[in-house]
Chains A and B, each alone.
Chain A
Amino acid sequence: MSAKLQRFPRFDRLERVVHWCNATLFLILLLTGASLYAGPLSTIVAHRHAVKTIHVYAGLLLPLPLLLGLLLPAGRQLRRDVGRFNRWTADDRRWWSRRTRARAQLGKFNPGQKLNAVFVGASIVLMLATGSIMRWFEPFPNSIRTGATFVHDWVFISLIFVIVGHIMFAFADFDSLRSMVRGWVPEQWARRERPRWWAEVVAARSESGEGSGGASGDVEAGRDEGVGKARVGAGEMPVGD
């Protein structure tokens, strides 16, 4: 049926801009950070002073995309998705075990994605705080400076694993990866991979009525992306396939 190629909005434009700003800043920070940190690399890259300056400025910029996104009126869906990272349902618990995973009716994000988001969010705070202590060290006692460097180093090592994992998982699910570029997933994907989210969105659509604009952030995003016309009413679709 027509649902096969339906565009199902997943990330609105603001979320995608925030994501790719974050990704760019993280990449710059990891590369410059690695060359400041690892002996063999730092001997190849050199230019320590310039690298350090880039690292510090990129670090100061790092919290801005997310903060702006959360504060702007257009960040409604972003705020909602951050709320989703917070909430863990019984289905999320089922997902962790291979045995019960098949029965897990997931919402918009799987628990791995939630953990990733929470870790990256916390690491922005930690890296900014410890990095600031390292950069403006004068008022701090020695042990605090060393402690800040210690935390900065270990969060850096952890981030490498988390980000490499994030990218590998993204490439393993191409529909999911592409939705961070074009904003939508095929509706089939949403029904199959994120049934609870799919049902949520479809229910919100039917409440607000076909084409009349909806209360749900996800549905609004769909209209923003100009895919409203492609939408189908919930009545045509059996919920909870």
Chain B
Amino acid sequence: MTDAGSPIGRRVFLGLIGAGAAGVLVGSRVQDFLASHTPKALSILPIGDHFRFYTVTDGFPKRAPQDYRLTVKGLVERPFTMTYDELRAMPPTMLTKDFQCVTGWRVPGVHWTGVKLGDLLDKAGVQTAGKALRFTSFDGTYTESLTLEQARRNDVIVAYDLEGKPLSSDHGGPARLYVAPMYGYKSCKWLDGIEVVDHVIPGFWEDEGYDVDGWVGLSNGRDDQPTSS
């Protein structure tokens, strides 16, 4: 065999590695460009403007609206449990904000409808000893926390509609927390309990290493554009 050939395999190999390295360096800009120039129908492609569904337990917990209950308890004057219809009957708040995940994906301009968390707290009457909130999920595992001050912001709601439609189970329905200025993990899905406590108890994802105060762009070593000011 006199024809040993040319080392094209090596060139292709190194070319692919080089292209990958370039992709790591400029991929974030390319992705922004693709996200703003491609139709939503192509969102299965990795162009980064769609929700990725995370659950921490065995499957997605399902609860029909008629079986849904939200309990507010702990250091409050008037603890209560309300139904889905009672929640919907409260004065609604609408927010249109980007949804930013700590893992990098961001969905622009998501339209949420829900009840201000502050309104629910006022309904229950927080005692002076109450300093923080602990949220629980009917999946039995997901927990979250906020300080009382964070919870009283106008962009923190218990959401029941997404894009004008009732919140589906994979999005955390029938109702979930939506903390607009913070990374997605703070927005406890499948919310069924709000407990007023005297200090912050880190939740599920904080135990996994994420920051307790999950401000978008100011935590978890990330510098994303803030989602809500």
A residues sitting closer than 8 Å to B (CB atoms) are: 37-39, 42-43, 46-49, 85-92, 107, 114-115, 117-119, 121-123, 125-126, 129-130, 133-134, 137-138, 141-151, 153-157, 196, 200
Asked if B50 and A145 sit within 8 Å, CB to CB, the answer is: no
Q: Which single member of B24, B46, B50, B60 contacts A46 (CB below 8 Å)?
A: B60
Known interface pairs A142-B223, A147-B23; A43-B53 also in contact (CB < 8 Å): yes
Known interface pairs A47-B58, A86-B10, A119-B16; A39-B31 also in contact (CB < 8 Å): no
Cα A38 to Cα B23 in complex, Å, equals: 21
New A-B pairs, 6, CB < 8 Å, besides A122-B16, A126-B16: A89-B3, A118-B9, A122-B13, A122-B20, A144-B25, A153-B46
**How many A-B Cβ pairs are below 8 Å?**
134
Asked if B27 and A148 sit within 8 Å, CB to CB, the answer is: yes
Summarize B's interface: helix, strand, loop or mixed. loop
Q: Which single member of A43, A122, A129 contacts B170 (CB below 8 Å)?
A: A43
Asked if A154 and B16 sit within 8 Å, CB to CB, the answer is: no
B residues sitting closer than 8 Å to A (CB atoms) are: 1, 3-10, 12-13, 16-17, 20, 23-31, 44-46, 48, 50-60, 103-104, 170, 221-224
Q: Which single member of A46, A138, A149 contacts B57 (CB below 8 Å)?
A: A46
Asked if B28 and A42 sit within 8 Å, CB to CB, the answer is: no
Q: How far is the CB of A138 from the nearest CB of chain B, in Å?
A: 6
Complex interface: chain A residues within 8 A of B8 (CB): 86-88
Closest to A49 in B: B56
A-B contact pairs, 27 of them (CB 8 A): A39-B51, A42-B53, A43-B55, A47-B57, A47-B59, A49-B56, A85-B9, A86-B9, A87-B5, A87-B7, A87-B9, A88-B5, A89-B3, A90-B5, A91-B3, A119-B12, A122-B16, A126-B16, A138-B221, A142-B28, A142-B222, A146-B48, A147-B23, A148-B24, A149-B103, A155-B20, A157-B45
